[in-house]
């Protein structure tokens, strides 16, 4: 268990914009930051971070909360793990007590897979550095590749003994269950036998963006035609190879800073580039590039430079990956290395200055690269040249941005020596075909929908819900502030008319709201708001230095999410960049006292209206039983409603 004072120190130190900035590229938007949602596939920002309130909100999925909630949602951390991650990031020493056996048993399955993977990572590093076999075979291999001790430590490189079950035996001895060793793929179980999957291999741990161990890649060092040169962990609850990029943990900050990501093919390509000094580099780990991997980069930058070795066949096979990048609305450049060289070998032979100069000089825009590769095979064959041009235009058609499309069409016309008109015509045909296919799919979906479609009643606006929500918002933002309030005292004239007379009184916002609700015996109808209301009132009563960021860290996850929903609702509209579209929404210019007064008056007015409706309904249902006093009461409530509405400047 982590000590309470350690948790408090973490919350006081951690900045939500800094932590989330490690996972999402954030751009300033007024007093807030915005970016692409890390929880959904989108091209326009719907993710907002508030440094002032120290909370975040994802409008595309409805998720939100504080810095710990983000880590728990994005990285699937438990609460203690999120605290430990933040403590490590901000160099905070945390005090914790030893977990009991019962607590260890209570860890869920997913967490058990992470624990097993973390143990394996430490074990393989220990074998590499502290055993004769590890030093003579594994460490020697890494040294031959030119990796320094610092680099080997940075990437947690390791070695698995060339023995059938050395790792498995050690893991079982330490108390890890065979069930989870098998599910992570570290151990292969066949009936009564157990085998180490990575026997005799150097180990490359594959980490999430936050540094958690998801799986491993292992390279065999002996010549064995029956064994794969590289072997990866199998798919599991924590490792999905199509959603992971090797090196993203070490590269994320550099990618965001440089606003560019170099994409290579292998583990050693990433490591050698990093050691040379270029750290904004990741690898798809030998698998075909996927949309999920591209979106991972897209959160950090819009620019990708794909690095290929001199193998022409391999480059053609990788062209599909470029189309996928274009579909995500990203900017793509391609750089190839001389024949016989790959990113690893080239970086090893050159200094940082030489490597940077080469990349700068040889990185081509995707259209130039694709044209040069395909053109060589088709320049003397008109039919193949036509197919090549259509292939290039197909790639251009995948770009969402219309202006970029036109520029690329012009560039293609220049390179391939063909008129722009023909290319635009071809592009229109491709787009039309795509529209027809989309229309057909939509029509089929619509037909399927119509079979099961039911008429949905129009949902009415819940006025009381909105007003109660507003009261919670006011308490959270201004509860401890002292204001001059204009109270309305109801008086009866000599003629028997009701009048509201203003009286100025000074009070704290939370006291004013509490007393007004008490005086009118107004209760919250929403149970969650009711609980939250009394929690906030109690907190404000107990302390004079109420802080929103401290308060939100003390409530449960569901309550924290609801608080975020309330406080970030207004930020939704700043995502639309209305000012850039010459739309200028009216700024809020209410004083706090006005805001409190109008909210309470509106709630009173609504509840009175409900009361009148109840009386009217009773009058209809029990007409014969209605007496004069009931009618008088209806009249009084109606008059009071009229007065309140006038005060609010509303037309009845």
Beta bridge partner(s), residue 364: 334
Class of domain 248-430: alpha beta
Q: Are 154 and 275 in contact (CB under 8 A)?
A: no
**pLDDT given for residue 317 in this prediction:** 59
Residue ranges, the chain, pLDDT below 70: 97-107, 286, 310-318, 375-379, 434-461, 487-492, 496-500, 520, 570-590, 611-612, 614-652
Give the start-to-end residue ranges of the domains of the chain: 4-89, 107-239, 248-430, 463-571+590-647
Cross-strand pairs, 504: 486
The DSSP result for 506-529, as a single string, is EEEHHHHHHHHHHHTT---SSHHH
For 143-199, write each residue's pLDDT tens digit: 999 999 999 999 999 999 999 999 999 999 999 999 999 999 999 999 889 999 999
Query: What is the pLDDT, as a whole number, of residue 652?
Result: 40
Which strands sit side by side in the sheet containing 281-283, from one edge to the other?
281-283, 261-264, 303-308, 331-336, 364-365
d(CA 169, CA 176): 10
For β-strands 158-159 and 201-207, DSSP reports them as: antiparallel
- The values of phi and psi at residue 194, to 5°, are -135, 135
| Residue 62 confidence (pLDDT) | 85
User: Considering only CA atoms, which of 617, 616, 608, 611 is closest in space to residue 650?
Assistant: 608
Question: What are the distances in angstroms from CA 73 to CA 40, 332, 353?
Answer: 13, 30, 40
Residue 63 CB neighbours (<10 A): 21
- Range 4-89: architecture per CATH: Alpha-Beta Complex (3.90)
pLDDT digits (tens, 9 = 90+) for 34-66: 999 988 878 788 899 999 889 999 988 888 889
Determine the pLDDT at residue 177. 93
**Domain 107-239, CATH 3.90.980.10 — does that match?**
yes
Q: Other C-beta atoms within 10 Å of 633: how many?
A: 13
pLDDT at 453: 46
Cα distances from 253 to residues 25, 34, 37, 277, in angstroms, run: 10, 17, 18, 14
Phi, psi of 225 (to 5 degrees): -65, -25
pTM of the model: 0.72
């Amino acid at each position: 268990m982590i000590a309470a004072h350690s948790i408090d120190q973490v919350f006081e130190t951690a900045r939500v914009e800094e932590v989330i900035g490690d996972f999402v590229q954030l751009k300033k938007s007024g007093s807030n930051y915005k970016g692409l949602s890390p929880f959904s596939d989108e091209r326009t920002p719907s993710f907002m971070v508030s440094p002032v309130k120290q909370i975040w909100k994802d409008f595309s999925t409805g998720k939100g909360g504080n810095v710990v909630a983000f880590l728990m949602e994005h990285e699937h951390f438990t609460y203690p793990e999120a605290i430990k991650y933040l403590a490590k990031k901000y160099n905070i020493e945390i005090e914790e007590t030893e977990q009991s056996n019962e607590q260890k048993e209570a860890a869920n399955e997913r967490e058990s897979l992470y624990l097993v993977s973390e143990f394996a990572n430490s074990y393989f590093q220990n074998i590499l550095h502290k055993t004769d076999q590890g030093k003579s075979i594994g460490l020697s291999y890494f040294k031959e590749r030119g990796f320094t001790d610092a680099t080997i430590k940075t990437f947690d490189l390791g070695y698995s003994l060339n023995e059938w079950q050395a790792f498995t035996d050690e893991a079982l001895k330490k108390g890890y269950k065979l069930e989870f060793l098998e599910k992570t793929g570290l151990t292969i179980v066949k009936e009564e036998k157990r085998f180490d999957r990575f026997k005799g291999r150097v180990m490359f741990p594959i980490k999430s963006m936050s540094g958690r161990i998801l799986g491993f890649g292992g390279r065999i060092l002996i010549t064995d035609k029956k064994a794969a040169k590289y072997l990866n962990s199998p798919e599991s609850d924590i490792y999905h190879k199509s959603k992971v990029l090797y090196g993203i943990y070490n590269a994320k900050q550099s990618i965001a800073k440089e606003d560019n990501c170099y994409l290579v093919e292998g583990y050693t390509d990433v490591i050698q580039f990093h050691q040379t000094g270029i750290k904004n580099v990741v690898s798809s780990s030998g698998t075909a590039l996927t949309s999920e991997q591209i979106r991972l980069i897209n959160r950090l930058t819009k620019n990708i430079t794909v690095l290929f070795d001199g193998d022409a066949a391999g480059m053609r096979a990788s062209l599909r990956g470029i189309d996928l990048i274009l579909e995500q609305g990203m900017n793509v450049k391609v750089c190839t290395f001389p024949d016989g060289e790959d990113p690893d070998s080239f970086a090893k032979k050159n200094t940082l200055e030489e490597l940077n100069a080469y990349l700068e000089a040889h990185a081509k825009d995707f259209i130039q690269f694709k044209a040069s590769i395909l053109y060589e095979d088709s320049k003397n064959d008109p039919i193949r040249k036509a197919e090549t041009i259509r292939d290039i235009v197909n790639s251009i058609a995948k770009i969402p941005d219309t202006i970029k499309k036109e520029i690329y069409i012009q560039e293609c016309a220049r390179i391939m020596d063909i008129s722009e008109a023909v290319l635009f015509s071809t592009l229109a045909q491709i787009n039309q075909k795509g529209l027809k296919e989309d229309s057909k799919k939509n029509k089929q979906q619509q037909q399927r929908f119509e079979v099961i479609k039911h008429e949905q009643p129009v949902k009415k606006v819940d006025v009381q819900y909105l007003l109660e929500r507003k009261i919670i918002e006011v308490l959270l933002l201004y509860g401890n502030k002292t204001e001059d309030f204009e109270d309305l005292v109801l008086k009866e004239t000599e003629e028997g008319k009701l009048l509201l007379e203003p009286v100025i009184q000074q009070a704290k916002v939370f006291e004013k709201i509490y007393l007004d609700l008490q005086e009118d015996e107004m209760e919250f109808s929403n149970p969650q708001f009711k609980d939250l209301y009394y929690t906030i009132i109690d907190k404000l009563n107990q302390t004079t230095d109420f802080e929103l960021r401290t308060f939100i860290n003390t409530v449960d996850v569901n309550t924290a999410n609801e608080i975020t929903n309330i406080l970030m609702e207004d930020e939704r509209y700043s995502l639309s960049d209305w000012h850039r579209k010459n739309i200028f929404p009216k700024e809020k210019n209410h004083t706090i006292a006005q805001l409190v007064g109008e909210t309470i008056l509106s709630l009173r007015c609504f509840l009175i209206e409900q009361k009148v409706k109840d009386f009217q309904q009773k009058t209809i249902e029990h007409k014969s039983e209605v007496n004069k006093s009931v009618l008088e009461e209806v009249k009084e409530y109606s008059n009071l409603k009229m007065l309140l509405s006038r005060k609010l400047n509303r037309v009845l």
